[in-house]
Amino acid sequence: MLILVSGGAASGKSAFAEELITSSGIGRRVYLATMQVWDTESRRRVERHRAMRAGKGFETVERPLDLAGASLPAGSAVLLEDLTNLTANEFFSPQGPEGALERLRAGLRRVSESSGLLVAVTGELFSDGTCYGPETQAYLDCLARLNRAAAAQAVAVYEVVCGLPVRWKGGRV
């Protein structure tokens, strides 16, 4: 079962996604981390998210690429943080953008099928009104297509705005 949580930067989407996992009643909790740590800022973000999860019973699985190859405990509650980073990692990987969307969709399907609950977080990057170069625009198009596929597959879709979850599809599980 998949729930998609979207929102802008610092909107509260991660905290809401964690609350969905911790209130699910599923005892085994996995944080599926997708961020590749490149610099001090990304290191700070990782530490902030670790602090948010402290004491909540999450085990962390690092998987910045090849989501389909992730080894996760069957039936667990999985928090995938996040599709935005995962898409960038796949799109700009040595494999390149060709086939990235298919790899991402296959990985999302596999994790969703093997977990008891998958809460996937994604970023809202589409409303800034900025014109980007062709490579960045192609990445954004890939992410948008993945978000649409995830929303179609999901039993519930939320957007978090100013810390407030807005339900767009389904109900709270």
Average pLDDT over residues 108-136: 91
- Angle, helix 40-53 to helix 13-22, in steps of 10 degrees: 30
pTM for the structure as a whole: 0.91
Band the pLDDT of 171: cuts 50, 70, 90. Answer: low
Among the listed residues 13, 29, 49, 63, the single catalytic one is 49
DSSP sequence for 148-171: HHHHHH-SEEEEEETTEEEEEES-
Q: Which residue has the higher pLDDT, 173 or 120?
A: 120
Residue 115: the pLDDT is 96
**Amino acid at position 9, single letter:** A
Contact in structure between 115 and 76 (CB atoms under 8 Å): yes
Residue 92: the pLDDT is 95
Closest alpha carbon to 90 in 105, 100, 82: 100
**Predicted confidence (pLDDT) per residue in 88-119, tens digit:** 999 999 999 999 999 999 999 999 999 999 99
Q: Tell how many helices (H) and how many strands (E) occur in the chain.
A: 5, 7
Residue 78: the pLDDT is 98
The domain 2-169 is placed in CATH, from the list 3.40.50.2300, 3.40.50.300, 1.10.3470.10, 3.90.226.10, at: 3.40.50.300
Residue 118: the pLDDT is 98
Q: Where are the domains of the chain?
A: 2-169
Residue 45: the pLDDT is 81
Residue 130: the pLDDT is 81
Residue 3: the pLDDT is 97
Residue 49 annotated as catalytic = yes
Full strand arrangement of the beta sheet holding 156-161: 58-62, 29-33, 77-81, 117-123, 2-7, 156-161, 164-169
Asked whether the predicted pLDDT for residue 129 surpasses 80, the reply is no
Closest alpha carbon to 120 in 151, 165, 92, 144: 151
Residue 126: the pLDDT is 78
Q: How far apart are CA 173 and CA 170, in angstroms?
A: 9
**Predicted confidence (pLDDT) per residue in 15-33, tens digit:** 999 999 999 999 999 999 9
CA dihedral 88, 103, 132, 33 (to 10 degrees): -20
**Predicted confidence (pLDDT) per residue in 29-87, tens digit:** 999 999 888 889 888 888 887 887 788 899 999 899 999 999 999 999 999 999 999 99
Average pLDDT over residues 155-168: 96
Residue 69 has, within 13 A of its CA and on its CB side, a CA count of 7
Residue 173: the pLDDT is 54
Q: 30 to each of 61, 72, 152, 171, how far by Cα in Å?
A: 7, 8, 23, 22
